[in-house]
């Protein structure tokens, strides 16, 4: 009897120990900096506190991790230059509205002065009114829905005013794509759309695209949807093939896109593929045969293969630090931190100011300044928080992005 | 007797906690993190009390509680949105939304319960799981907009086009955005108290005893004239209604809500609160809910390891509470306390 | 695409569900527990096979064998450390523990391997059979054949061998089986070993057709396979096979001919209807209640 109980106690202890050892390996191999989740950067008292939240656990963790990594890197670089010092606190929200409000609470308790807001759209919509109530400046790298910056997203009115975006809004991308198709009939004239109807980003782009396509007189021959749980894409690709479409628009992230390319390849279906910024990353998926993405067009403000010095340096440093190629989210995040730093310097913001005072100064800077970053040159912001920059079309040739003349 | 004492304990826990938290909140001494947890915890408590009635007292495994919360939440949001032009008072709108959410979730409970409560055990569990998934899928495809011409509805394909100034109440996968946050902590506490009072009264009533008899032995219960399906239905529908009201409160506490929030994982989480608190033990459910909702927030310092440690704590808690040695120890403590109490009484 | 090619895609998806469902159903039949961590064992199998094939450069068969070995050890370890101490506890406690194990595996995987998706290498040759305008890829054929072979082997094992009869005895009545001199704990461990080994095979087949490997890869196939097991009558081996195939076919056809948005809802609705008509699933045994 006694022996049996001992076994049970040992069993319980072993479960814990096993898990902990697993966890320990994970920490060592993931190679991220020692300041996980906590405060990164300068330890001195006179640092401006930058907050932010995003999914670091769960199915969307890839996006949050990219933003956190790049933001950490940017803060370290800026701090190393001397001048105004920053401290970053990036919290996990698991791509969930409720947890985002908890994360916001943690950041507020910590004394956040400016913020990267959230990484994904739904959590952003949940915390946006809180940023407004507390009058804290937020610059989201990647939350692209209209609800991120407008109190009334249906009519695009009542902007929160203290929230800005580094990324394009979803409708903006849908419109840009439809306009591109109109001016480039050589890509294809019978258009098919495959999108994720459970995803904010994907449906947001899709809706505006359809409206604009109608206005532009484009021939949309059909559409198919999938869900987060979809594993088999043969139905969607089959429908596109059956409709006789020669141009397939994919306003989706690169992970499902890679599956769609594989499914299309096995069916011998070869239309023109057209993606948006979510497609960036397709070439860096471990194990993906990049030949399948050959000839894919993307309308994206950032490509990791660009040859300008800024991008090259960023990609090199990011790879050295985190062992992977940065994606769109990382680039947006890096730009966000640098844009904040630029505005802080220009407005003469110091670490002893209140978040509310800083917010006023930042808003006036952002609505008047022009910023050069990874994701665009002479980037400006409107008073409602929307970014204005030019997306460039690139095409994948021989496994790298090649610019297309507009 | 014992029963009465545990009832008093659970009511006092809630009321004392409410008083303390409300004072802290009003004086601005409560951290922002804690104030962000107040309303969700109340919602989970109410849903968990309902589920405990269903799982602990009626003995039917239900894996679809999140589905009923979803119905309540989106109904509540729509009701509040539609009434926003008519009733300006937030409290009245909140109460109306919660009542309508509760009723609709209850109606769905009846619709689902009629065919399925004949099933038992794990088959009922899978049917409730399936309903939860179906509800999530349907809500993901609902579009409801409102403008000066009235309401516009469409399903699967978003064909709703609104006049300027119109508002999308439900927007497919995006769910509801721009919701007016009219939920309050006080409303949450009142909801929990009402749910508790209802369940305790039910347990003490003839229907409650019939529910428990049907749980302990279905055939024996029906042989003494208890309509087993009807009693099970009562527990199921009440449980669904509580989840609905909780869902409405939850939905109206955030400015945005996506249908995917109410997935299988949420149903399971609420079940975890119930099982860890003890089947049929309402006080336990309340404490387990508070602990388990707060725990991942307390673990934030661990950063990447947060959810891993949470999983380990969950497993360890199940192993420890079911450990023979611990059980014997608790039993001994209880006996000792009883003896002491009896001794004191005599002197 | 023609109806037939959708049907074949459905059979392929269904075969994968069926293999996973076999693992669910065996564990349920013998240990009477819903092992929700089964889907995450598949995920571990997928990562093992991925690293075996890419980092170690192993060919198909050794990669599958390695994945099977890892999954078997993992399955037995989970049973030993997390479920065995709960042998006398309520089934709900075991269910919650299983959920805990599922969270644990997912989060450990995320820490170990990050959440970046990886594309599973094609371990099978890429060709296809051409049958009168219909093209059926080798992977499809291999998936369906593997599923049938596994089902037949399991049936033979359970019905014709001594260990198999011991398993059936445990499924019938654990107490009586123990009295007959059967080591119940060993049989349960063996069941977990077989179920997890099957999960490894399923992971390779799943990833060969749907090649994205992420830490949450197992969750949805896990739930679908569980549904398939219930559909066919949980505890029944041919039931899991039939349930898996039907579920796959319904999912694909509903997506192709009704609506991709609603295909999941349709799958679950069919499940409910089947359970209302046959409360113990298609091939499940009706258990008569006794007082």
Quote the strand ranges of B118-207, DSSP E.
142-147, 150-155, 167-171, 176-177
Using a CB–CB cutoff of 8 Å, tell me whether A18 touches chain B. no
The DSSP secondary-structure symbol of A247 reads: E
Residue B103 lies in a domain: yes
Which residues are CB-neighbours of A13 under 8 A, at least 6 positions away?
none
Q: Per-residue confidence at B331, pLDDT binned at 50, 70, 90?
A: confident
Q: Kindly state whether residue C286 falls inside one of the protein's structural domains.
A: no
* Contact state of C261 with B220 under an 8 Å Cβ cutoff: no
Q: Angle B228-251/B65-83 helices, nearest 10 degrees?
A: 50
Q: Are strands A39-41 and A219-226 parallel, antiparallel or unpaired?
A: unpaired
Per DSSP, helices labelled H in B117-184 are 121-140
Q: Would an 8 Å CB–CB cutoff place C262 in contact with chain B?
A: yes
Residue in chain C lying closest to A14 (CA): C81
Q: Which of A166-175, A382-391, B221-230, C61-70 has the highest mean predicted lDDT (pLDDT)?
A: C61-70
Which of B166, B260, B311 has the CB atom closest to A154's CB atom?
Answer: B166
**Coil, helix or strand for B270?**
helix
Residue B236, domain extent: 2-304
Does any domain span residue B282?
yes
Closest Cα in chain B to C229? B126
Please tell me the predicted confidence (pLDDT) of residue A16.
43
pLDDT the model gives residue C289: 54
What is the number of other CB atoms lying within 10 angstroms of the CB of residue A370? Answer: 11
Residues in chain A predicted with pLDDT less than 50, given as ranges, are 1-44
Please tell me the predicted confidence (pLDDT) of residue A307. 81
CA angle B96, B98, B103 (to 5 degrees): 95
Tokens of residue A264, six digits: 């299309």
Chain A residues within 8 A of C261 when measuring between CB atoms: 197, 225, 227
Beta pairing, strands A392-397 & A400-403: antiparallel
Report whether C252 contacts A238 (CB < 8 A).
Answer: no
Phi, psi (deg, nearest 5) at residue A284: -105, 5
pLDDT at C45: 96
Q: Indicate whether B28 belongs to any domain.
A: yes
**Residue B120 or C118, more confident:** C118
Q: Has residue B141 been placed in a domain?
A: yes
Nearest by CB: C116 against A22, A268, A286:
A286
Closest CB to B178: pick one of A92, A152, A203. Answer: A152
* Torsion sign (Cα): A50, A55, A57, A62: negative
Instruction: Kindly determine whether residue C104 and residue B119, on different chains, have CB atoms separated by under 8 Å.
Output: no
What are chain A's domains?
A: 39-168+309-388 (3.40.50.2300), 171-300 (3.40.50.2300)
> Which residue has better confidence, C159 or A60?
C159
**Among C93, C99, C108, beta carbon nearest to B308:** C108
Per-residue pLDDT at C106 exceeds 60: yes
The dihedral through the CA atoms of A386, A87, A60, A311 has a sign that is: positive
Q: Is residue C239 part of a domain?
A: no
> Which helix (H) or strand (E) covers residue C131, if one does?
strand C128-131
| Residue C1: predicted pLDDT | 62
Q: Count Cβ atoms below 10 Å from residue A392 Cβ, excluding itself.
A: 18
Q: Which residues of chain A are within 8 Å of residue C225 when distances are taken between CB atoms?
A: none
**Chains with at least 3 CB pairs less than 8 angstroms from chain A:** B, C
Q: Give the range among A394-403, B32-41, B169-178, C222-231 with minimum mean pLDDT.
A: A394-403
Q: Are B102 and B72 in contact (CB under 8 A)?
A: yes
Tens of pLDDT, residue by residue over A221-275, are: 999 988 887 878 888 999 999 999 999 999 998 888 988 998 898 888 999 999 9
Contact (Cβ atoms closer than 8 angstroms) between residue C154 and residue A320: no
CA distance to A363, B95, B96, B183, C180, per residue, from B89 (Å): 34, 10, 11, 12, 72
Which residue in the set B118, B314, B322 is minimally distant from C86, CB to CB? B322
Strand segments (E) across A278-382: 297-300, 371-373, 376-381
Residues 49-68 of A with CB under 8 A from C: 57-59, 61-62, 65
Q: Tell me the backbone φ, ψ of residue B176, rounded to 5 degrees.
A: -105, 135
B297 to A106: CB separation less than 8 angstroms, yes or no:
yes
Q: Is residue C260 part of a domain?
A: no
Q: Is some CB atom of chain B closer than 8 A to the CB atom of C103?
A: yes
Which residue in chain A is spatially nearest to C118 when comparing CA positions?
A: A286
Domain tally, chain B: 1
Q: Which of C112, C120, C255 sits opposite A22 (nearest CB)?
A: C112
Q: Is C271 on the interface with B (CB under 8 A)?
A: yes
A232:C13 CB<8 A: yes
Note whether A159 and A129 are within 8 A (CB): no
Residue C279 in domain: no
Number of domains, chain C: 1
Instruction: Give a yes or no: residue B159 inside a domain.
Output: yes
pLDDT for res B338: 72
Residue B333 covered by a domain = no
Record: contact A197-B172, CB cut-off 8 A: yes
DSSP symbols for A57-109: SSTTHHHHHHHHHHHHHHHHHHHHT-SSEEEEEEEE-TT-HHHHHHHHHHHHH
Q: Does any domain span residue B276?
A: yes
State the smallest CA–CA distance between residue B201 and chain A in angstroms.
Answer: 33
For residue B320, is it within any domain? no
Chain C neighbours (≥3 Cβ pairs under 8 A) are: A, B
Residue in chain A lying closest to B305 (CA): A23
Residues of chain B numbered 218-277 and touching chain C (CB < 8 Å): 218-220, 264, 268, 271-272, 275-276
Nearest to B77 by CA among B46, B57, B100: B100
Q: Is residue C262 assigned to a domain? A: no
Q: Which domain holds residue C133?
A: 3-218
Task: With respect to residue C250, please indicate whether it lies within any of the assigned structural domains.
Answer: no
**Chain C CB within 8 Å of residue A157 CB:** no
Min Cα separation B275/chain C (Å):
7
pLDDT of residue C282: 87
pLDDT at B240 over 50: yes
């Amino acid at each position: 009897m006694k022996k049996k109980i001992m076994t049970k106690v040992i069993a319980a202890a072993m479960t814990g120990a096993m898990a902990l050892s697993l966890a320990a390996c994970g920490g060592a191999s993931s190679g991220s900096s020692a300041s996980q989740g906590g405060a990164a950067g300068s330890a001195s008292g006179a640092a401006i506190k930058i907050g932010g939240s995003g999914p670091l656990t769960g199915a969307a963790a890839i996006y949050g991790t990219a933003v956190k990594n790049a933001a950490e890197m940017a803060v370290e670089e800026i701090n190393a230059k001397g001048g105004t010092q920053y401290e970053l606190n990036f919290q996990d929200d698991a791509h969930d509205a409720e947890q985002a409000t908890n994360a916001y609470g943690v950041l507020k308790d910590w004394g956040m002065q400016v913020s990267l807001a959230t990484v994904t759209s739904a959590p952003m919509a949940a915390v946006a009114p809180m940023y407004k109530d507390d009058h804290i400046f937020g610059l989201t790298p990647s939350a692209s829905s209209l609800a991120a910056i407008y109190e009334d997203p249906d009519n695009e009115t009542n902007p929160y005013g203290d929230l800005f975006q580094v990324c394009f809004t979803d409708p903006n991308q849908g419109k840009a794509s439809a306009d591109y198709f109109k001016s480039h009939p050589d890509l294809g004239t019978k258009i098919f759309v495959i999108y994720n109807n459970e995803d904010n980003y994907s449906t947001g782009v899709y809706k505006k695209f359809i409206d604009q396509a109608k206005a532009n007189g484009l021939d949309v021959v059909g559409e198919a949807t999938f869900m987060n749980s979809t594993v088999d894409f043969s139905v969607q690709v089959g429908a596109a093939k059956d409709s006789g479409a020669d141009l397939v628009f994919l306003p989706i992230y690169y992970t499902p896109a890679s599956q769609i390319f594989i499914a299309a390849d096995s069916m011998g279906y070869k239309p023109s593929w057209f993606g948006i910024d979510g497609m960036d990353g397709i070439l860096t998926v471990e194990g993906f045969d990049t030949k399948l993405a050959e000839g894919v067009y993307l309308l994206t403000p950032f490509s990791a293969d660009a040859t300008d010095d800024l991008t090259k340096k960023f990609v090199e440093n990011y790879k050295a630090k985190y062992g992977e190629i940065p994606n769109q989210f990382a680039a947006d995040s890096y730009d966000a931190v640098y844009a904040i730093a630029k505005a802080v310097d220009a407005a003469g913001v110091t670490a002893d100011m209140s978040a509310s005072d800083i917010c006023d100064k930042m808003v006036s800077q952002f609505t008047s300044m022009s910023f050069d970053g990874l994701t665009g040159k002479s980037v400006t912001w409107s008073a409602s928080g929307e970014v204005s920059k030019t997306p460039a079309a690139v095409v994948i040739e021989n496994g790298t992005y090649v610019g297309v003349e507009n | 007797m014992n029963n009465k004492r545990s009832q008093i304990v659970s009511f006092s826990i809630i009321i004392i906690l409410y008083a303390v938290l409300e004072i802290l909140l009003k004086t601005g001494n409560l951290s922002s993190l804690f104030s962000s947890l107040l309303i969700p915890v109340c919602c989970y408590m109410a849903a968990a009390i309902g589920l405990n009635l269903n799982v602990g007292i009626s003995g039917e495994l239900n894996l679809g509680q999140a589905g009923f919360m979803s119905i309540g939440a989106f109904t509540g949001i729509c009701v509040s949105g539609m009434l926003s032009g008519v009733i300006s008072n937030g409290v009245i709108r909140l109460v109306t939304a919660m009542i309508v959410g509760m009723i609709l979730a209850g109606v769905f409970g009846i619709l689902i319960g009629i065919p399925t409560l004949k099933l038992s055990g794990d088959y009922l569990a899978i049917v409730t799981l399936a309903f939860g998934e179906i509800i999530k899928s349907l809500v993901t495809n609902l579009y409801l907009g409102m403008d000066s011409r009235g309401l516009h509805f469409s399903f699967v394909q978003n064909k709703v086009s609104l006049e300027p100034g119109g508002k999308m109440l439900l927007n497919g996968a995006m769910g509801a955005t721009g919701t007016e946050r009219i939920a309050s902590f006080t409303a949450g506490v009142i909801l929990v108290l009402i749910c508790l009072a209802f369940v305790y009264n039910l347990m003490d009533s003839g229907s409650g005893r019939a529910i428990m008899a049907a749980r302990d032995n279905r055939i024996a219960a029906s042989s003494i004239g208890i309509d087993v399906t009807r009693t099970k239905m009562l527990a199921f529908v009440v449980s669904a209604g509580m989840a609905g009201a909780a869902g409405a409160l939850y939905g109206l506490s955030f400015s945005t809500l996506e249908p995917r929030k109410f997935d299988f994982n949420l149903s399971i989480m609420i079940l975890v609160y119930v099982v860890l608190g003890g089947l049929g033990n309402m006080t336990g459910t309340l404490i387990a809910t508070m602990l388990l909702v707060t725990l991942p927030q307390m673990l934030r310092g661990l950063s990447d390891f947060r959810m891993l440690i949470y999983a380990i704590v969950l497993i360890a808690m199940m192993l420890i509470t079911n450990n023979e040695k611990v059980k014997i120890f608790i039993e001994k403590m209880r006996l000792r306390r009883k003896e002491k109490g009896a001794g004191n009484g005599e002197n | 695409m023609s109806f037939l090619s959708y049907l074949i895609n459905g059979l392929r998806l269904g075969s994968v569900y069926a293999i996973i469902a076999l693992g669910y159903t065996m564990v349920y039949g013998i240990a009477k527990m819903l092992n929700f961590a089964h889907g995450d064992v598949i995920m571990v199998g997928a990562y093992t096979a991925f690293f075996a094939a890419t980092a170690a450069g192993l060919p198909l068969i050794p990669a599958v064998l390695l994945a099977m070995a890892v999954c078997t050890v993992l399955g037995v370890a989970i049973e030993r450390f997390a479920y065995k101490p709960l042998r006398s506890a309520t089934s709900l406690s075991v269910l919650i523990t299983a959920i805990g194990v599922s969270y644990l595996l997912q989060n450990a995987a995320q820490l170990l391997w990050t959440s970046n998706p990886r594309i599973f290498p094609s371990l099978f040759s890429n060709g296809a059979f051409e049958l009168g305008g219909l093209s059926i890829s080798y992977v499809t054929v291999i998936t369906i054949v593997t599923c049938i072979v596994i089902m037949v082997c399991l049936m033979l094992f359970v019905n014709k061998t001594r260990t198999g009869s011991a398993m059936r005895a445990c499924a019938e009545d654990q107490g009586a089986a123990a009295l007959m001199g059967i080591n119940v704990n060993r049989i349960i461990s063996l069941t977990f070993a077989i179920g997890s080994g099957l999960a490894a095979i399923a992971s390779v087949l799943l990833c060969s057709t749907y090649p994205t490997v992420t830490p949450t890869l197992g969750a949805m196939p896990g739930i679908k396979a569980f549904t398939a097991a219930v559909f066919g009558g949980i505890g029944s081996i041919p039931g899991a096979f039939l349930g898996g195939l039907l579920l796959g076919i319904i999912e694909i056809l509903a997506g192709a001919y009704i609506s991709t948005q609603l295909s999941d809802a349709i799958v679950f609705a069919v499940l409910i209807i089947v359970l209302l008509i046959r409360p113990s699933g298609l091939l499940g045994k009706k258990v008569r209640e006794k007082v």
